[in-house]
């Protein structure tokens, strides 16, 4: 009788395959998918950091125009163009002006600075006014005196905010790279005060190269994000030369 019941049970299962438990119906492909999903989840659980590298490369205006004219990019990947520039650098046809690099966690803001804090006056006392009534009687100089100051950072600054996508390859990046120079001073007023002492009111001339943009990067690829004009020897805009700005992002997985 026991054998008969067992046989009947097997017959019922064969006639009603939907009654087979789910665990027994799991295929090898489904198990592999589950394992792959678990592996992706493990990677996503690790802390993600992004290394952002910004390069300023200077070359002649004609050379830049030729590179862009002959280039036929199929995507935003500018790695082949960056390799061409590296060959030009080796031949002294181009020059690496500056390289900035910063590592930050995904979704966080970060800033790096290599600067000189340049302090300069912005307001002066009117010329000819003595520094107090008694000073006038003593014959002390009554030249104009600065009464307010500001600070300008000279050098290079990089501000970034990268966000890594779910595939760990695409990075949404907001960046502000900047190079700043003090190129001289402009005299806005000069003369002699009531006591015959000379005075001069001047303000600094500042030259800035700055980009403020948001882009989408692929990890490990260079991207050309802009071209700006450098300064000449007098601190004016030099339209005969250009500075190409490249950005490369790399996603760094924590261990």
Confidence (pLDDT) at 196: 78
Residue 36 clears pLDDT 80, i.e. is over it? no
Burial of 53 (0-12, 13-18, 19+ CB in 10 A): middle
User: Per mean pLDDT, which range of 84-93, 171-180, 197-206 is the poorest?
Assistant: 197-206
* Band (8; pLDDT cuts 50, 70, 90): very low
Alpha helices in the chain (DSSP H): 2-15, 22-25, 28-45, 61-70, 79-90, 133-138
Confidence (pLDDT) at 33: 62
Residue 195, CB half-sphere, CA atoms under 13 Å: how many?
A: 17
**The total number of residues written for the chain in this structure:** 255
By C-alpha distance, which of 251, 177, 246 is closest to 218?
251
Q: Identify whether the C-beta of residue 246 lies closer than 8 Å to the C-beta of residue 224.
A: yes
- pTM: predicted TM-score of the whole model, two decimal places: 0.73
Confidence (pLDDT) at 70: 84
**DSSP assignments along 222-235, one per residue:** EEEEEEE--B-TTS
Please give the Cα distance from 45 to 39 (Å, whole number).
10
User: Per mean pLDDT, which range of 66-70, 197-201, 241-245 is the poorest?
Assistant: 197-201
* Band (24; pLDDT cuts 50, 70, 90): very low
Confidence (pLDDT) at 123: 83
Residue 138 clears pLDDT 60, i.e. is over it? no
Backbone angles phi, psi at 129, to 5 degrees: -85, 130
Q: Identify whether the C-beta of residue 124 lies closer than 8 Å to the C-beta of residue 143.
A: no
């Amino acid at each position: 009788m026991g054998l008969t019941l067992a046989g009947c049970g097997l017959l019922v299962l064969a006639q009603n395959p939907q009654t087979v438990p789910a665990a027994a119906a799991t295929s090898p492909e489904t198990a592999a998918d589950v394992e792959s999903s678990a592996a992706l989840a493990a990677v996503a659980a690790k802390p993600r950091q992004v290394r952002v590298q910004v390069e300023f490369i200077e070359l002649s205006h004609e050379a830049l125009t030729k590179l862009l004219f002959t280039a036929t990019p199929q995507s935003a990947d500018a790695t082949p163009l960056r390799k061409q520039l590296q060959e030009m650098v080796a031949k002294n046809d181009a020059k690496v002006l500056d390289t900035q690099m910063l590592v930050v966690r995904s979704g966080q803001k970060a800033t790096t600075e290599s600067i000189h804090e340049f302090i300069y006056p912005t307001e002066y006392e009117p010329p000819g006014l003595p520094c107090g009534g008694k000073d006038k009687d003593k014959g002390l100089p009554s030249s104009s005196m600065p009464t307010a100051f500001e600070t300008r950072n000279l050098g290079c600054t990089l501000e970034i905010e990268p966000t890594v996508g779910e595939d760990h390859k695409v990075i949404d990046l907001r960046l502000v790279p900047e190079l700043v120079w003090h190129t001289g001073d402009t005299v806005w007023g000069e003369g002699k005060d009531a006591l015959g002492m000379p005075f001069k009111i001047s303000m600094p001339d500042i030259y800035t190269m700055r980009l403020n943009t948001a882009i989408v990067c692929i990890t490990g690829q260079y991207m050309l994000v802009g071209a700006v004009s450098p300064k000449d020897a007098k601190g004016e805009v030099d339209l005969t030369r250009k500075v190409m700005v490249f950005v490369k992002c790399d996603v760094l997985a924590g261990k």
